[in-house]
Structure 1
Amino acid sequence: MEVRERILKTAEELFMKFGIRSVTMDEIASELGISKKTIYMHFEDKDAIVHEVATFRMSCEQDISEQIWKEAENPIHEVVKEIEMLKTHVAALNPVVIYDLKKYYPKTWAVFQQHKQTIFLDITRRNLQEGVKQGLYRPEINIEVLSRLRMEEIDFAFDQSVFPNNVFNQFEIHQTFIDHFLRGVLTPKGLTVYEQYINTDNN
């Protein structure tokens, strides 16, 4: 693996474990077994590392979501598979990362918000539209309002003032939000399909 890729991979692992602000360039260098000078040969500063780690992660998440959409049997199955993906990803994420990104890295936070309000908004909107077409979601739902509501739930789930990390499990928060959201749009037919997936996963 090239040095630049190793730096990004190690930095991401440290950020996810300890938060962004608490990880220093010295610690990244020490973890890699290289000098800090070597890191500065590839990145201008820590902000540059944070930005590239975040944008790469967003791109990966988008690719995974698109793959799930292609493989899913229907819009409900797509959501169920997204929950399965979240279980792995959220388990490795320290919620402090979101707080640090928002407070100390406004440039990268702005990119994240733009990505969420465009790419992931489109993914959610498409899911709702397809669900209505297939008779799985109620035809009278306001797709534009609900798509944006779902986007805001993502940030809300990471709000430490509401869901402190020492009290709440991050995956359970996200899972509860998605379950609540989905049950609010399902038709009786959709509810039957959803519960079949849930029962299959639990057995």
Structure 2
Amino acid sequence: MKDKILAESAKLLWKYGVRTITMDDIARRLGISKKTIYLHFSDKEDIVYQAVKHHIEHEMIECDRVMCLDMNPIDEMLLVSDMMRRQADAINPSLLMDVQRYYPKAWAFFLDHKEKRIINDIKANLKRGVEQGFYRSDINLDTMARLRVELVQLGFDDRIFPNNKDVKDVIATQEQLLHHFIRGILTEAGFATYNERVKSFN
């Protein structure tokens, strides 16, 4: 029952936003009482935390599949970003910011994950890109990896991008930020590969 509650809760939270959905909404969706939900989750924050944790773990499984394909660093960065874009199609644009503002436990899990996994994955991509001649040799790997992560978060911030009214707007913003970032680190050889890949992706 716990897995079913979590799965249905996540669908509601991702679609309508974590602030909008109540425990009553979740109970109605499942056709059960709130008392049954409280047998498995202490409160709504616990549900949000578990849903965010499950989503991130699933996302990392997908990332690992991409990274096992033994492709060049530019392709890898574009494919991972495309995977994230497809996942974002089903997520309310306000989700990340609302979790940051109102659900500290879930946000702390995301920050820990960002520090221990995401930044290191990006640094590994950048290091390979430098070694293979796609990225400039003068970039600072840690600085650029952190910049990339912060740009992704920035793209969800409705205080910075108030015109991002729906998922398509957020995706368009994320694509702009991604391509701006990649162009800033490419060598001439990298640009040739990048331009070819962008045409095929489009």
Q: TM-score category by the smaller chain?
A: over 0.9
Partner of 1:154: 152
Q: 2:99–2:107: 8 Å Cα contact kept in structure 1?
A: yes
Partner of 1:173: 173
| Correspondences of 1:179-198 after superposition (within 5 Å) | 179-198=179-198
* In 1: Cα distance, 2:159 partner to 2:91 partner: 17
Q: 1:121–1:148: 8 Å Cα contact kept in structure 2?
A: yes
| Correspondences of 1:62-141 after superposition (within 5 Å) | 62-141=60-139
Structure 1's unaligned 5+ residue stretches are none
Deviation per CA, 1:50-78, whole angstroms, max 9, x where unpaired? 11111111111222112111114111110
* In 2: Cα distance, 1:159 partner to 1:86 partner: 17
User: Which of 52, 60, 64 in structure 2 is aligned with 1:54?
Assistant: 52
Q: Give the letter for the 2:135 counterpart.
A: Y
* In 1: Cα distance, 2:85 partner to 2:99 partner: 21
* In 1: Cα distance, 2:12 partner to 2:198 partner: 34
Q: Give the letter for the 1:90 counterpart.
A: A
> How many residues end up aligned between the 2 structures?
200
1:40 aligns with 2:41: no
Partner of 2:3: 5
Partner of 1:175: helix, strand, or coil? helix
Q: 1:91–1:170: 8 Å Cα contact kept in structure 2?
A: no
Runs of 4+ in 1 over 2 A off after TM superposition: 164-168
Partner of 2:68: helix, strand, or coil? helix
Residue 42 of structure 1: CA displacement?
A: 1.3
Q: CA RMSD in A?
A: 1.4
**Identical aligned residues as a percent:** 37
Q: 1:86–1:171: 8 Å Cα contact kept in structure 2?
A: no
Structure 2's unaligned 5+ residue stretches are none
Residue 86 of structure 1: CA displacement?
A: 2.2
* In 1: Cα distance, 2:122 partner to 2:178 partner: 12
Q: 1:77–1:197: 8 Å Cα contact kept in structure 2?
A: yes
